[in-house]
Chains A and B, each alone.
Chain A
Amino acid sequence: MLDKLKIPDRHFLHDGHSLRSWLLTKDHKRIAIMYLMSISVMFFIGGLFAVGIRFELATPQGDFVSADTYNKFFTMHGVIMVFFFLIPSIPAVLGNFLIPPMIGAKDLAFPRINLLSLYIYWIGGFVTLYAMIAGGVDTGWTFYTPYSAAGSNTHVVPTAIGIFIAGFSSILTGLNFIVPIHRMRAPGMTWFRLPLFVWAHYATSLVQVLGTPVIAITIVMLFVERAFGFGIFDPARGGDPVLFQHLFWFYSHPAVYIMILPALGVTSELVSTFSRKTIFGYSFVAFSSLAIAIFGFIVWAHHMFVAGISTYAAMVFSFLSFSVAIPSAVKVFNWTATLYKGAISFETPMLYAYGFMGLFAIGGLTGLFLATLGLDVHMHDTYFVVAHFHYIMVGGAIMGYLGGLHFWWPKMTGRMYSEFFSRVSAIMVFVGFNITFFPQFVVGYLGMPRRYHSYPDEMQVLNVMSSAGATVLGLGYVLPVIYFLYSLKYGKVAGPNPWGASGLEWHMQSPPLTENFVEVPEVINEPYEYEHAVVKETHHV
């Protein structure tokens, strides 16, 4: 019944082999691949700092590095992971690659601006890495004044400039998604036929476009204070350090939604595909992405409960923070309802999706604990917070990213990877993650402060557990590099739709043509029409 599959002769990876054809490309798929390589490098650099942190914290005394150096470790870990890995990750790699075919377009709205966003990312990355090599920064990724403006004698300015530059990359990516989703959908592709992945990225792009400029201006204000001696946040001249925190968190809280919304979109795709069922409550899930994006802008001061805001403001923000959990919960309920009586399977992408759902639920619920004023007074700046956000960012966002990468790898490369090793690595990631971060909830509740390189002796057992888990987690992250690279040459040919998934992208060949579609398709079906599926799709377009 099946023809022997082979890689098509003409595809986007073959359209020009020179370095110039890559560095001057306008093809969103090539740009996505280059982003993939860049953020992977950044991920491992950020990971190295994590290794340093966990190594130090394996013993209660601060004996591996000095306190100042340790401060630099967690600062660089945070800066690189947040700004140079998590924020670009899914949008710049999977979003760039998939949004045009998912909406039935030949490219994003502004291909050259897409390339520019990549170059800007590289420049920002180089500036920040320069700052790191020149001696690093020790303010924490949150750069609170007055320490960052006046007290610290580390390389605040170049790091801040690097982040500022990278912010433009984020803005341009978001802009490049909003426009085609509005104006370049294929005939028949109405808003409510769009994959939930697209809805999620639309919501993410709104946040990128509206939030990033505020941290940009905050960095400008920090820069003029540090470089010129202006006094916007200087208490000695009447400035307010809490103002810095307000402006910083106005972006940085929505930023966490930039980091998680795309993963939520990926999970919707995975859950639907691997339970062979239409997503339950499609419009609720679609609108929940928008709700998260919008609500995410009105909760920022829950990072500042003990910073000096008024009790009244703290109560307002606490209440609003509870509300933002609701749309997230809607998604989890709808995925569960989708799985119910679905034809569930356990391919690697789905393993990541299962892991995501559980870990995201834990991360989200612990966020509610922290949104509760009374509890936050006790747990602010402890490892409870660290565990909470790592459950979302690593257990959530990174697992969503890996799940998506494993799902769409055959589409991007035309090859399947080793299912055995990919499952092993998914399980290692899940197990290693939990051993690393669950103990941190406990030590945090017991009072272990974050950003300290030493701690009381009685907390050592849990910290050693955490460091041991980090080793397993790290190995789980290294494995995919190996089997993915191996698959490029030796992987089984995938064909256009190895998973039997729905969505326009699966109607392209694998790897796709540069122009995506030979003819622009006209969409006549609703999304996720798995109920009509009989056999896995294997015909060529």
Chain B
Amino acid sequence: MSDTVAHAAHHAAAHAHHPAQQHHFDTMPQQKEAAVLGMWVFLLTEILFFGGLFVAYMIYRVWYFDAFAEASRRLSLFWGGLNTAVLIGSSLTMAMAVRGAQTNKRKATVNWLILTMILGTVFLGVKVIEYQDKFANYEVPGPNFNWLAHEQHEAAAGEHPSTALGASVAAAPAEGEHRKLSLTPEQLQRTTQIYFSLYFTMTGLHALHMIIGIGLMSVITWMAWKGRFDGEYYTPVEMSGLYWHFVDIVWIFLFPLLYLVERHQ
């Protein structure tokens, strides 16, 4: 067989290698491009991962819209909205952290990263508050789930029932403002569990990703503090940034889907 390759010396041997350049790459830009592409391929898997949950949610939302609407109204718009603002803010601080690394500002990078982690922790703290409320109100799916517990507490406290469900429990016809629900209390007891199952799975998975993100970021912060990054090599910061922004994007969809199913009542 004829010689099918010409062996040409093709290293970037003229340039001194950046200390962070790995031996199997020819240049730093090639290494960085590979890392960015790799990270995006990983984020692709995350899109499909959460996507499966979103698809399940979509089907059930169409099937049991009234139950989803009822259950969604139980969520606190205040905490959800606050968390959305916090997370979007943390995306800003993360972008600033990457920018700091790009422009060789070690201290700024560290500070922005710390701020991002703080905001992330605030988000998780709010989620703890929300989850605790759910546990207290028997809204966790499973054997302890009791859809009517909230209503019974309200009725006992003498408040007016806030939903048409409460109205039908009192055997009074729905008022003009409230759309009459098509589901019986027993059906709601069952189908709202699907909503809450998805709620806990989706937000739980999201929170897990945030915890991992905060963990990753603490490592990156330490590396930044140690001066490991410069204008030519800040790839780990950028990678964490991509991951963190993705987690933010998931929440951008979770918030309206879970908290805003039907609020115009």
**Chain A residues close to B by CB (< 8 Å):** 100, 105-111, 113, 171, 174-176, 178-180, 182-184, 187, 209-214, 216-218, 220-221, 224-225, 228-232, 236-240, 243, 247, 250, 497, 500, 502, 504, 507, 515, 519-525, 529-530, 532-537
Contact = CB atoms under 8 A, between A and B. Distances in A.
Given A213-B46, A214-B52, A507-B5, A178 B194 contact: no
Given A213-B52, A230-B142, A179 B34 contact: yes
Interface centre among B9, B10, B52, B67 (most CB of A within 10 A): B52
A49 B132 CA distance: 47
Nearest to A504: B5
B41 A175 contact: yes
Contacts of B9: 519
Nearest to A524: B6
B59 interface: yes
B34 A247 contact: no
Interface centre among A113, A217, A507, A524 (most CB of B within 10 A): A217
Interface centre among B22, B24, B49 (most CB of A within 10 A): B24
Contacts of B22: 111
B51 interface: yes
Contacts of B8: 187, 519-522
Contacts of B93: none
Contacts of B50: 217
Nearest to A520: B10
Interface string B27-61: 00010011001100110111111111101100110
A232 B201 contact: yes
Contacts of B4: 502, 507, 523-525, 529
A213 B50 CA distance: 8
Contact of B198 (A107, A209, A213, A232): A232
A218 B52 contact: yes
B142 A228 contact: yes
Interface string B152-188: 0000000000000000000000000000000000010
A117 to B, nearest CB: 12
A230 B190 contact: no
Nearest to B141: A230
B24 A105 contact: yes
A229 B190 CA distance: 13
Contact of B194 (A105, A174, A212, A239): A239
B142 A521 contact: no
Given A183-B33, A519-B8, A534-B1, 14 more contacts: A109-B38, A113-B38, A179-B37, A187-B10, A224-B197, A224-B200, A228-B141, A236-B190, A240-B60, A507-B5, A519-B7, A521-B6, A529-B4, A532-B2
A217 B53 contact: yes
Contacts of B72: none
Nearest to A106: B24
Contact of A232 (B49, B187, B197): B197
B252 interface: no
B143 interface: yes
Nearest to B42: A175
Contact of A237 (B2, B7, B47, B194): B194
A212 B1 contact: no
Contacts of B1: 497, 500, 502, 529-530, 532-537
A522 B10 contact: yes
Nearest 4 pairs of A and B residues by beta carbon: A229-B142, A217-B52, A230-B197, A213-B49
A175 B38 contact: yes
B64 interface: yes
A231 B38 contact: no
Contact of A179 (B26, B41, B48): B41
A266 to B, nearest CB: 21
B193 interface: yes
Contacts of A187: 8, 10
A212 B8 CA distance: 40
B226 interface: no
8 contacts: A110-B34, A175-B41, A214-B51, A225-B197, A231-B142, A504-B5, A519-B8, A535-B1
B109 interface: no
A171 B4 CA distance: 34
Contacts of B116: none
Nearest to A497: B1
Given A178-B41, A182-B37, A247 B6 contact: no
Contacts of A520: 8, 10-11, 26
B23 interface: yes
B182 to A, nearest CB: 14
A537 B5 CA distance: 13
Given A214-B51, A217-B52, A238-B64, A230 B11 contact: no
Nearest to A521: B5
A184 B34 contact: yes
Contacts of A535: 1
A221 B201 contact: yes
A247 B5 contact: no
A326 to B, nearest CB: 26
Interface centre among A109, A225, A520, A537 (most CB of B within 10 A): A109
Given A178-B41, A519-B7, A238 B194 contact: yes
A100 B34 CA distance: 14
B221 interface: no
A209 B142 contact: no
Interface string B192-219: 0110011011000100000000000000
Contacts of A240: 59-60, 63
A183 B191 CA distance: 49
A178 B194 CA distance: 38
B7 A521 contact: yes
Contact of A183 (B37, B143, B190): B37
Contacts of B34: 109-110, 179-180, 183-184
B208 to A, nearest CB: 10
A376 B11 CA distance: 58
B222 interface: no
A497 B3 CA distance: 13
B225 interface: no
A217 B49 contact: yes
A224 B59 contact: no
B41 A209 contact: yes
B25 interface: yes
